[in-house]
Amino acid sequence: MPLANGNGVGPSGSNGVMNGKGALARVNLPGHLLYEGSNVDREEFVRLLLQSLRDVGYIESAATLEAESGYSMEQPEVERFRGYVLDGKWSKAEAALTRLGIVDEESIWDAKFLINKQKYLELLEAQKTTTALHVLRTELAPSSPEPAQLHALSSLIMCTEPEDVRQRAGWDGASGQSRQQLLLDLHRFIPPSVMIPKRRFLTLLQQAHEDQLRRCIYHNTPSDSTPFSLFSDHMCDKDGFPGVTTTILLGHADEIWNVEWSHDGMFLASGSADKTAIIWYMGSDSRKWEAHLILQEHPFAVHSLAWSLDDSMLLTGSEHFIKLWDAKTGTCLRTLDEHTETITALSWLPDGSGFISGALDRKIIQWDTEGRKKLSWGLSDLRITDLAVTPDLSRVVTIGMQAPSSSESSTRGARGNGTPGDHSTSNSGGNPSSGNGIMATEHRCIVYHFSTRQVESSVKLDGELTSVKISQDSQYALINHAPDEIHLWDLRLGRLARKFTGQRQGRHIIQSCFGGIDGTFVASGSEDGNVYVWHRDTGLLLEVLAGHEDGSVNSVAWNPKNERMFASCADDHSIRIWEAPTRETNIDAPRHTHYSVSYSAKGKGKTRQVDGDVEDATGMASSSSATLL
């Protein structure tokens, strides 16, 4: 026997509506699922359709569907409740709560508190102080979940002007959107089957779109510019992925250990074992690179780099020295020598108040924008090999080796002594070998709360830790972990989220990065001379990019303004710029091998060597080059 479709009736209480030819009969369908074998409830589906049709203005169509299906979008009590809240009928709104399916006593108290808070603020705004005080004492105080919140509300009594009330309460007033916001806040107490969340169908569609983007392993375009069709799933091909070397930058005389992009994506800084840093300028055409400045005056190899937020200054780390440079002129503004061992990390603070440094001497030091010492965090438990500040300035993530006892310290060397090529992890005091008197080393990741400088968490990890980067949403820390792993840590949940494998790392300091739209890729160098790229959310290895010669690829940095470009630097003294293929690009080599790029345009088709004289920090002319493939 066919089942009825529900207990709802048409808007007039009849079993149908008039359509010019008579009343529409209710359609009776068997079962309660939308399709046989599906798990979608038909009533929920139809009620969401009714909500969507009314939202976009198809009122008669909604009425027809309601009559044919026998389902009502919501009970009349729900619509009346909305009206009570939007019209400011607070007593009636309170009384209606129990009729909306709220059975938990605590939830009822919390919902009443929100309603009375709105009533209280509106009375203060209307300068009805006596009535507001009565509400505070007899209605808010008995239901206040927190004394501190009640105290903050009571302090508003002293406001003499409506604008003061709105400003101090962070509230936009009775004539603003506060009542609509109150309805949204009350939604969490009312069962969604009783009061359907606002625009629920649209929310489901947006969630489906976001899930498709996450599943698309080569997705690399902004979500707001990505076409979204209801007729087919989203899927990108490889065309948007930067897998082609378009430029090789030559200028350093020894291994290049680090590269960092400026925030505007127009400049690239590189640090080398040849005791120099070079600032490269890309220009408006990514194939017109030039060496903008050569920063000399370093007594040792340059291993740490950091751009100021406005890109006007560059920090370089060379052993225990920090140099602060004017990135436009190449003038060394200040040399800092507060650290006593190798500086392994430099990071400008996201609020623009200065920068922070970490070193093997266990010190974490905060500096102002002019390089004056502001604050020392004291001695960490770690000989710090790297640190990173979360973009929301809530945490500082440090990695390194547990500090040795005094009896051990004399047997352990610091990283490098200025000898070109000395960038192995063993010189950082880690990976001690047996039989030489060095004790086993414990490696840890310690997370500090930035404002209090207190330890939030400390995790012991097996294997050496050489690099840490933070995702733009401040949720994930990417940690290079020898041997041969990169770990993705969820800082909010305090657990390992994923491992990335395939690259080679056991002897050298290798630095990885997030890249692409919303940090959807993870890229890393490797001791086998290749660049490895994974899909962050699945851990799938997407590309192994060859091109660098023998030796390690030491660092990879993604352009912050161009999701289709990143740079890599290596022991072969070169920097490679990787970009997405264009119509001019011809890939005539097998996948995952060196890409040979040619151009069909006039005057192109061969490798061009661009040589030129640039000024170094002393004003002397120096030669550098950029090879364009």
Summarised one tens digit per residue, pLDDT across range 429-447 is 333 333 344 445 799 999 9
- Rounded to two decimals, the pTM is 0.71
- The tens digit of pLDDT for each residue in 239-267 reads 789 999 999 999 999 999 999 999 999 99
Residue 426 clears pLDDT 60, i.e. is over it: no
Q: In the structure, what pLDDT confidence band is assigned to residue 599 with cuts at 50, 70 and 90?
A: very low
Residue 497 clears pLDDT 80, i.e. is over it: yes
Positive/negative CA dihedral, 296, 300, 303, 304: negative
Positive/negative CA dihedral, 183, 189, 191, 197: positive
Which residue would you say has higher pLDDT here, 581 or 446? 446
In this structure, what token pair is assigned to residue 139? 């209605």
- Look at residue 549 and give its three-state secondary structure: coil
Residue 1 clears pLDDT 50, i.e. is over it: no
Same domain for 462 and 381:
yes
Task: Determine the Cα–Cα distance for residues 292 and 328; give it in Å rounded to an integer.
Answer: 9
Which residue would you say has higher pLDDT here, 221 or 378? 378
CA dist list (Å): 559 to 252, 565, 629? 21, 6, 19
Q: In the structure, what pLDDT confidence band is assigned to residue 6 with cuts at 50, 70 and 90?
A: very low
157-179 mean pLDDT: 93
Query: How many domains does the chain fold into?
Result: 3
Question: Quick one: pLDDT at residue 253?
Answer: 95
Same domain for 593 and 445:
yes
Is 547 a domain residue?
yes
Is 223 a domain residue?
no
Same domain for 153 and 89:
yes
Residue 122 clears pLDDT 80, i.e. is over it: yes
Is 484 a domain residue?
yes
Is 44 a domain residue?
yes
385-405 mean pLDDT: 92
Question: Quick one: pLDDT at residue 360?
Answer: 96
Compute CA 123 distance to the chain's CA centroid, rounded to the nearest angstrom: 42
Is 217 a domain residue?
no
Is 67 a domain residue?
yes
Query: Around Cβ 458, how many Cβ atoms within 10 Å?
Result: 14
449-477 mean pLDDT: 94
The range of the structural domain enclosing residue 2 comes to 1-73
Residue 53 clears pLDDT 90, i.e. is over it: yes
Same domain for 319 and 174:
no
Task: Determine the Cα–Cα distance for residues 467 and 485; give it in Å rounded to an integer.
Answer: 12
Question: Quick one: pLDDT at residue 614?
Answer: 43
Query: Around Cβ 473, how many Cβ atoms within 10 Å?
Result: 12
Positive/negative CA dihedral, 92, 95, 99, 104: positive
> Considering only CA atoms, which of 510, 508, 512 is closest in space to residue 523?
512
Residue 13 clears pLDDT 90, i.e. is over it: no
Same domain for 266 and 369:
yes
* Order of strands across the sheet that contains 363-367: 343-348, 355-359, 363-367, 373-379
Q: Of 187, 203, 225, which residue is a domain's last?
A: 187
Same domain for 294 and 376:
yes
56-61 mean pLDDT: 95
In this structure, what token pair is assigned to residue 25? 């009969």
Residue 496: phi, psi to the nearest 5? Answer: -75, 125
Q: In the structure, what pLDDT confidence band is assigned to residue 214 with cuts at 50, 70 and 90?
A: confident
> Considering only CA atoms, which of 580, 584, 578 is closest in space to residue 605?
584
- Which of 45-54, 335-344, 583-592 is predicted with the least confidence, judged by mean pLDDT? 583-592
Residue 368 clears pLDDT 70, i.e. is over it: yes
Q: Of 48, 73, 98, which residue is a domain's last?
A: 73
Residue 591 clears pLDDT 50, i.e. is over it: no
Same domain for 265 and 148:
no
483 cis-preceded (ω within 30 degrees of 0): yes
- Chain mean pLDDT for the chain: 84
Which residue would you say has higher pLDDT here, 4 or 448? 448
Q: Of 73, 96, 130, which residue is a domain's last?
A: 73
Question: Quick one: pLDDT at residue 623?
Answer: 41
Question: Quick one: pLDDT at residue 598?
Answer: 26
Question: Quick one: pLDDT at residue 36?
Answer: 87
- The tens digit of pLDDT for each residue in 289-305 reads 999 999 998 999 999 99
Same domain for 260 and 179:
no
- For residue 16, the one-letter residue type is G
Question: Quick one: pLDDT at residue 31?
Answer: 87
Cβ atoms of 564 and 515 within 8 Å: the answer is no
Same domain for 382 and 280:
yes
Compute CA 82 distance to the chain's CA centroid, rounded to the nearest angstrom: 37
Residue 407 clears pLDDT 80, i.e. is over it: no
Long-range CB contacts (within 8 A, 24+) of 328-337 = 329/293, 330/279, 330/293, 330/294, 330/295, 330/615, 330/616, 330/617, 331/617, 332/295, 332/297, 332/617, 333/370, 333/371, 334/370, 334/371, 336/367, 336/371, 336/373
Residue with tokens 């808007």: 11
Same domain for 119 and 13:
no
Question: Quick one: pLDDT at residue 424?
Answer: 57
- For residue 294, the one-letter residue type is I
- The percentage of residues in the chain with a pLDDT greater than 90, rounded to a whole number, is 66
Residue 226 clears pLDDT 70, i.e. is over it: no
Question: Quick one: pLDDT at residue 440?
Answer: 57
Same domain for 12 and 143:
no
Question: Quick one: pLDDT at residue 69?
Answer: 93
Same domain for 348 and 479:
yes
Residue 416 clears pLDDT 60, i.e. is over it: no
Is 209 a domain residue?
no
Is 118 a domain residue?
yes
Residue 475 clears pLDDT 90, i.e. is over it: yes
Q: Can you give the C-alpha Rg of the chain in angstroms?
A: 32
Residue 415 clears pLDDT 50, i.e. is over it: no
